[in-house]
Amino acid sequence: PPFPWQLSAPASVLFASFGWIPSLFNSTTTAFPDVNNSIECPDMISWDIITNSLPIYIFIISALGILLNVFVILVFCLHKKPCTVAEIYLSNLAAADLLLVSCLPFWAVNIYNNFNWPFGLFMCKVVNLGIKMNYYCSIYSLVLVGIDRYIALVHAMSHGRMRRPKYAKLGCLLVWIFSLVLGSPLLIFRKLEYIAQYNVTACYLEYPNEKLALFSDVMLAIVSFLIPISVITYCTLKIILALKNKSMDRFHTERTEKKATILILAVLGAFFICWVPFHLISILDVLHRAGVIQDCYASNVIEFCHQIVSYLAFFNSILNPVLYVLVGKNFRKKMWEVFHQWAILRPVTSDSTRSHLSSTLKTTA
């Protein structure tokens, strides 16, 4: 079957809302009538490179992401000391990234399979719900991280009691519940249907009408981008100002907080670089679908850019664990201590096993 940008306008709309990688199925700016202005809108961009490389790229990102994020979670979980508040939030972020990279291979297989979804209706709904939940879990975990650093460095004396592990765990739980609630419409509107015209069994998101689809996209931009980015930006600016206060160096506790904050700022910076372009292009895409942007060339550019920034957003899921190792001194310390614990535990376990086997043989003899 032809790719979505080769389909007629109704079929393109049918394939629109691919889920978390909407740009691949969001092209209404094709060589067919434009759904907004009913004029010929020729495709001016070659898509062969993107469509051929996308499954390979997703598989690489998924393999690296699963390996690295599982490693991060294991380091935090296996270390003999309990996690700090900041580490609880970072491990929650790693769990959200792990959820994303675990779901992406299903879509890679779907693309490689000429957009035939082979996994059934249940997985069609669940996989896309997991991808959508990463939307919210990632950014709101960073909101919690930013607020935690803000309290630790700016209001340590007045609000320090709020920074307790039990509150951090409760905050992470609420983020997951919040993400599940916001992603739940996918369980209702996500469908699996055979399209005889193209001989494709498609897993797609079909809202009752276009107004509801646009409302959903606008709310997504507000709830998953504008609000959290505003909070993160405010906290980050306050944190940077607090780090410039040289008097903090006199206190060991504050120096420890500064080390953790440097890692947090690196993670926040990586998130901004990887995700802000995606959300900005998504907003432009909503404006195009609403008829605000009607220029054919602009529509093609938005569609192409949506592909590129989607790849960039994927990369954030493997960038965070790398930053933990390269920038996080405390994480590296924990990592080596876990390796040391494991190195000591292996000989002890081996000696215990040999001793038990020897005593068993003596008893049987």
Nearest-10 crossing angle of helices 48-78, 329-364: 70
Distance CA 205, CA 267 (A): 32
What mean pLDDT comes out for the span 304-316?
83
Provide the pLDDT for residue 102: 93
Which range has the worst mean pLDDT, 43-52, 109-118, 262-271? Answer: 43-52
Mean pLDDT calculated for residue range 317-328: 85
Mean pLDDT of 336-345: 78
Q: Rounded to 5 degrees, what are φ and ψ at 119?
A: -105, 0
Q: What is the mean pLDDT of residues 325-349?
A: 76
Mean pLDDT of the region 99-125: 90
Per-residue confidence band for 156, with pLDDT thresholds at 50, 70 and 90: low
Q: So what's the pLDDT on residue 360? A: 54
- For residue 191, report the phi and psi dihedrals to the nearest 5 degrees: -130, 155
Tokens representing 295 are 């220029």
Paired tokens of 314: 């994927």
| Nearest residue to 90 (alpha-carbon basis) of 223, 266, 274 | 266
- Which segment of 20-24, 43-47, 66-70, 256-260 scores lowest on mean pLDDT? 20-24
pLDDT digits (tens, 9 = 90+) for 128-144: 999 888 888 988 998 99
Residue 40 pLDDT > 60:
no
Give the Cα separation of 130 and 135 in Å (integer).
9
The confidence score (pLDDT) of residue 336 equals 86
Count CB atoms within 10 A of the CB of residue 361: 9
Amino acid found at 352:
S
pLDDT band per the 50, 70, 90 thresholds, residue 286:
confident
pTM, rounded to two decimals: 0.78
Closest CA to 328 of 165, 180, 145: 145
Amino acid at 251: F
Q: Give dist(CA 89, CA 198) in Å, integer.
A: 45
Q: Which domains does the chain have, with CATH numbers?
A: 4-345 (1.20.1070.10)
* pLDDT recorded at residue 314: 84
Structure tokens at 277: 């372009």
Which ranges in the chain belong to alpha helices (H)?
9-15, 48-78, 85-112, 120-154, 156-159, 165-183, 185-189, 210-221, 227-243, 252-289, 296-327, 329-364
Task: Note the pLDDT of residue 200.
Answer: 86
Rounded to 10 degrees, the C-alpha dihedral 288/290/292/295 comes to 40
Over 60: is that where the pLDDT of 13 sits?
no
Say how far apart CA 86 and CA 92 lie, in whole Å: 10
- Average pLDDT along the chain: 76
Please give the share of the chain, as a percent, with pLDDT higher than 90: 18
- Residue 118 tokens read as 């082979």
- Does residue 142 contact residue 267 with C-beta atoms inside 8 Å? yes
